[in-house]
Structure 1
């Protein structure tokens, strides 16, 4: 008789745990970081004077034109052993900018930097910034917006990045800047994304 009660108790626990199985799919999440590095030429900043040097009245807000970048998302997703329909989220973890040429230049021409991302058919979003840029630095680690799910941007073939900010001086168009970004992708082989 005791065996019957034990078997019934185990069966009841098994049925109750089956109802919880959909929540267990979160344990199957796969998290993978992808690093992108790209060197860009600093274009003329629209709205700023052509001559180098300080700006009148302590500076002004201006924006660079959008720059296109290949996402290579299919390659990164495939290399991680996942598939596009299994991707749940893509978030920006880090964004760094470094002046690589000329070697003696720094970010003193900026007081504030903002980085916006867009993609075909998707709205532009502020994804990173740095307010009160410290003087004398050749490398800046920007403050990223970690709660923005950039999945739809990442899954496009091309993503557009636009820089803007408050300029203290006109940057040299002979400068080259390296962008270094780290994205985190979460995929789940047990749960297809919507």
Structure 2
């Protein structure tokens, strides 16, 4: 009887390990890059918002290339959001006090994606924002979505600042459609 319990325990453990390994095969990332320009301004401590153009998701082809479809998606979350200044070459993010990025899509309410408050005073040309952890299936399954950048400056901006936004979404699909 003791050997039988041990055998059942080993078989259960092996099955769990295999299911976890299979589950990892159904996870993949989708990357989107967009750009915004923060216009020069002499006003400090005033909130402002800038929207990106519509971003085409191409989700159907992304799902297909990862051997799944939108009906099998269990979860999509923002894994990482990185902002990089591309112009001017000598600018860094020290002009920002705080920043928050929102996502919206047709027929879906806008929600917060990522935030950094406060922005470190010793900023570089690249910022990694803290993600909110929201499930974003409704947005990424759409044909397109928009990002809105809301920020407060703590310095005068004497030149337009071009910023690239890299969004990495982690997708988790159902195992074998179940």
TM-score range for the pair, normalised by the shorter chain length: 0.7 to 0.9
Residue 141 of structure 1 aligns with which residue?
128
Q: 1:153 deviation in Å?
A: 0.4
Q: How many residues align?
A: 161
Distance 1:43-1:165 versus aligned 2 partners, 3 A rule: closer
Q: 1:87 deviation in Å?
A: 0.8
Q: 1:37 deviation in Å?
A: 2.4
Q: Structure 2: any 5+ residue segments left out of the alignment?
A: 13-17
Distance 1:75-1:127 versus aligned 2 partners, 3 A rule: same
Q: Does 2:177 align with 1:188? A: no
1:147-167 CA-partner distances (Å, limit 9, x unpaired): x11011000011111010222
TM-score, normalising length from structure 1? Answer: 0.73
Which of 25, 36, 41 is the equivalent residue of 1:52? Answer: 41
Residue 32 of structure 1 aligns with which residue?
28
Instruction: Verify the 8 A CA contact 1:52 1:169 in the aligned structure 2.
Output: no
Q: Does 2:68 align with 1:82? A: yes
2:177 and 2:157 map into 1 onto residues whose CA distance is: 48
Distance 1:182-1:154 versus aligned 2 partners, 3 A rule: same
Which of 94, 111, 133 is the equivalent residue of 2:97? Answer: 111
Larger Rg: 1
TM-score, normalising length from structure 2? Answer: 0.79
Cα RMSD between the aligned structures?
Answer: 2.6
Q: Structure 1: any 5+ residue segments left out of the alignment?
A: 1-8, 18-23, 45-50
